[in-house]
Amino acid sequence: MSSQRLRAGSDAPTDRRPLVAGLSVFIPIAILGNALGPVLRYPDVGSAILFVPYAALTAVLAVSRPRQWIWYILVDFVAHFATHWPIWPVSWVLMAGAANLTRALVAAGLLSRFFHEPPRLDGIRSLIVFVTSAVFMAPAVGATIGAATVVLHGGSSTYWLPWTAWFVSNALTGLAMLPALIVGFAHVMGAYRFDLTRERVLEVVALAFALGASSAFAFLTDPSRQHLALPLYAPLPVMVWAALRFGAGGASAVLTVVTFAAIWSVDRGTGPFTGVAPDANILTLQIFVLFTSVPVLCLAAVATARQSVVQLHNALLASFQDQVAILDADGTVIEVNESWLRFAAAPFALEFNRVRAGDRYLAGCEASAAHGDATAAGVLEGLRAVLGGSRRHFAIEYDVERQGQRRTFTMNVEALERVGGGAVLRRSDVTARRQAQLEIEEQRRQLSHLARVAVLGHLSGAFAHELNQPLSAILSNAETAREVLRRQPGNVEYLKAILRDIIADDERAAAVVQRLRALLKRGDRRLQLIEPRELVNEVLDLARTDLITRHVEATAVVSPELPPLWGDKVQLQQVLLNLILNGCEAMSTTAASARRLVLTAEPGGMGSIHLAVRDCGVGIPPALIDRLFEPFVTTKADGLGLGLSISRTIVAAHGGRLWGENNADCGATLHCQLPVAQTSRSATGLEASDVPVAAGDPR
Amino acid sequence: MSTDSTAPQRISIVIVDDDASIRVSLQRLCDVYGLSATAFASGRDFLAALEHSAPRPDCLLLDAHMPGMTGSELHRALRARGVHIPTIVFTADDAPELSAHYATAGIVACLRKPLGAEDLLAAIDQAVGGRNSTA
């Protein structure tokens, strides 16, 4: 039965159980409290030292639904009237009753406004809200009406004396009693449930005993022996105990008892609050309780807040599917989550990961690394760096093979930001993710290959032409040779020259076939150093026949001494070929004499090479300029719109960038920026997906 | 073959092709069959030579597929200048509609690469014979 039940229950008016339970407790408290009022009273001012009905009514209102408030208000007013009339005049009883009601409504209204559940003092913020509403504002409003009542009935010649008396007594009640009563009513009405274990009950008994003993010591001693008022501090440890172990409710219960004991001692003439005039004694007592309550309740609120944080922390740790372990600075496990414990017993856990709280993780890594476990060595190195403060973060990916199954894990080590240091280890099983990644890569490769084949299909006529050229020359030469052999077989030198040409043309044909094969092949990515000039020339070679057919005049402008690129040559050829064909398509409606395509390769700054294909075609429609490289975006009637999209994917995989813009004069330029080869060959994006995987120990 | 018997004066052929291997091999073929062949790498070169009063050949062998000026463009340019030379076009493309296109443009023959000697010589024969008949 949670606190929600009560509030959310406001939609279910049929549930009267909380009301019945609340009334059954509230009625006796209201009668007793109102009867006690006149007893706990300033001798010469008509107001109480501690006004229990205020705390009782506010508490019961704060934990119940507003539509049921009327019942408690009626009960309170009847009790008030019954205990004060006919001792006091009716007008006094009515005005004082109005003051009491207004005060409780202000307090309960403010508490309901600022607390979503029955008010819980679980932090400094909630304490401030509570004190402002129930200890300051509501008593001030009540005192304003109450003091007027006193003055109008001739109880006081000044306004401020009764105001202060009303205010202080209610503020004191709000601070010392209200938290305990809220918890009590919430419990009775089903909003909270106490966990009353045997240990808990025993602790309450022990606390009560200590409270009784310390209160007796503080308030029953002879005033003549109270020189330093030292016994006054005797209840303080008990208050702190209650605050730390039982929260604001427990602290408030102890404060209430101490207050009653102090009032009783004033009446008896023992304890520290004796000596001067009775009203001065009482004011001293009130101020003592006020100033003690504030730090004790602060402590209770902070302790409750800390408990919430711990609960939150545990809930968070338990919710992670990943396995989490927290280490201190010397590599000892402070805490692990459920998932870590489960995994430690599973077959895929490596030896050094089979640890629980209290085990020395770092030492385990060292031992495994010493036995040649490469993963342990990797983790050890990273963990030492993080614990030593030289790195804030470390991650490693490794494979583990058990019974023919292979699983991939990543281990993240994050520095613990706190005094004393430490680290948080998070391990996750990424086998499925990795598998999906490999599948995506394979699909991308297939798609890229299909796109390449499609481009080649476009160029098939051109390839036939390129093959037929040398074949034709070979045939003519061979037929000439046959004729020469028939007519003048002695002309060996001539025949030699012919044969030399036949061989050269044969090689030329073979080169065409070779080039075609390279583009058609569906092999894995082959990374190599690529000279930009070579790349440009080869692509123009591939496209040449097609360019001629389309009447496009293509020129290449390559800066001298460009550094080499690092990548897959076939893929980059595919990209350039796509850009060139794209430019050609854009110029299909341009006058034949104006179809110029310029291919440039120049330094791109920041260690990159800038390739550009500039055409004089129709340009890119403004609506498409941002979406040009998205799949299925095309300006061609028969285009699939995959060429540029795949080109962009390829370029991105090379760590580069592909973009297009319209030229100022005519047509558009497609730009491609690619990083130059690093000496270490590790700076391009290509390696990102080829992360070397640490070897798991194949035990 | 038949070319040997037609005349003591050798028939003159001009070859226009941007591909050097084709030019050389065709020249050799013509040579060995007793034809006198001159080769140009582009239509513009040939037009320039004509303007410098080079003798008009008996037959023109044109590559259809050349950068700058294609075979049919050269053919049109020549006709525009009133120069009518029996012309054979050859192409490495395999598009069947080309032959029909050239046939209507007043071209004697359209051959497909690789060029067989027999086909080529027959076409030249036809071209030259055609010129003789019109002359």
Full residue range of the structural domain in which residue B105 is found: 13-127
Residue B6 lies inside a defined structural domain of this protein:
no
pLDDT, mean over chain A: 85
End-to-end C-alpha distance for chain B, whole angstroms = 23
Could you tell me which residues of chain A have a Cβ less than 8 Å from any Cβ in chain B?
461, 464-477, 479-480, 483-484, 487, 498, 501, 504-505, 508, 545, 548-549, 553
Tell me if residue A108 falls in helix, strand or coil. helix
Quick one: pLDDT at residue A1?
37
> Which of B26, B65, B92 is the closest to A476 by Cβ?
B26
Cis-peptide, bond into residue A698, ω within 30° of zero: no
pLDDT digits 0-9 by tens, A541-576? 888 888 888 889 999 999 988 899 988 888 898 899
Q: Please determine, for residue A74, whether its predicted confidence score (pLDDT) is greater than 50.
A: yes
Quick one: pLDDT at residue B94?
62
Which chain B residue has the Cα nearest residue A550?
A: B67
Rounded mean pLDDT, A167-186: 92
How confident is residue A6, by pLDDT bands cut at 50, 70 and 90? very low
Q: Please determine, for residue A688, whether its predicted confidence score (pLDDT) is greater than 70.
A: no
pLDDT digits 0-9 by tens, A322-355? 999 999 999 999 999 999 998 888 888 888 888 8
Quick one: pLDDT at residue A451?
79
End-to-end C-alpha distance for chain A, whole angstroms = 52
pLDDT digits 0-9 by tens, B30-69? 999 999 999 999 999 999 998 888 788 999 999 888 887 8
Residue B3 lies inside a defined structural domain of this protein:
no
pLDDT digits 0-9 by tens, A248-267? 999 999 999 998 888 888 77
pLDDT digits 0-9 by tens, A629-655? 777 666 665 566 677 888 888 898 888
Q: Please determine, for residue A692, whether its predicted confidence score (pLDDT) is greater than 50.
A: no
Quick one: pLDDT at residue A2?
40
Q: Looking at CA atoms only, how far is residue B85 from chain A in angstroms?
A: 23
Residue B133 lies inside a defined structural domain of this protein:
no
pLDDT digits 0-9 by tens, A116-164? 778 888 888 999 999 999 999 999 999 999 999 989 988 788 899 889 8
Residue B71 lies inside a defined structural domain of this protein:
yes
- Cα A209 from Cα A593, distance rounded (Å): 108
CATH number of the structural domain spanning residue B23: 3.40.50.2300
Which chain B residue has the Cα nearest residue A495?
A: B28
Could you tell me which residues of chain B have a Cβ less than 8 Å from any Cβ in chain A?
19, 21-22, 24-26, 28-29, 31-33, 65-67, 90, 92-95, 113-117
> Which of B22, B28, B67 is the closest to A469 by Cβ?
B22
Residue B52 lies inside a defined structural domain of this protein:
yes
Cβ contacts (< 8 Å) between A459 and chain B: which residues?
none
Q: Positive or negative, the Cα torsion across A659, A664, A668, A672? A: negative
- The packing angle between helices A236-268 and A160-176, to 10°, is 140
Q: Please determine, for residue A387, whether its predicted confidence score (pLDDT) is greater than 60.
A: yes
Cβ contacts (< 8 Å) between B31 and chain A: which residues?
480
Pick the range with the lowest mean pLDDT from A163-177, A274-288, A409-423, B82-96: A274-288
* Burial class of A372 by CB neighbour count within 10 A (0 to 12, 13 to 18, 19+): exposed
How confident is residue A59, by pLDDT bands cut at 50, 70 and 90? very high
Q: Which of A530, A625, A533, A647 is nearest to A579 (CA)?
A: A647
Contact B29 A480 (CB under 8 A): yes
How confident is residue A626, by pLDDT bands cut at 50, 70 and 90? confident
Residue B89 lies inside a defined structural domain of this protein:
yes
Q: Please determine, for residue A278, whether its predicted confidence score (pLDDT) is greater than 80.
A: no
pLDDT over 90 for what percent of chain A?
A: 42
Contact B117 A479 (CB under 8 A): yes
Which chain B residue has the Cα nearest residue A459?
A: B93
Number of domains in chain B: 1
In this structure, how many other beta carbons lie within 10 angstroms of the beta carbon of residue A433?
12
Residue B8 lies inside a defined structural domain of this protein:
no
Most A CBs within 10 Å: which of B13, B21, B23, as the mutation test of the A interface? B21
Residue B46 lies inside a defined structural domain of this protein:
yes
Contact B114 A466 (CB under 8 A): no
- Give yes or no for a contact between A402 and A350, defined as CB atoms under 8 angstroms apart: no
Contact B29 A479 (CB under 8 A): yes
Pick the range with the lowest mean pLDDT from A40-54, A470-484, A656-670: A40-54
Q: What is the pTM of this model?
A: 0.56
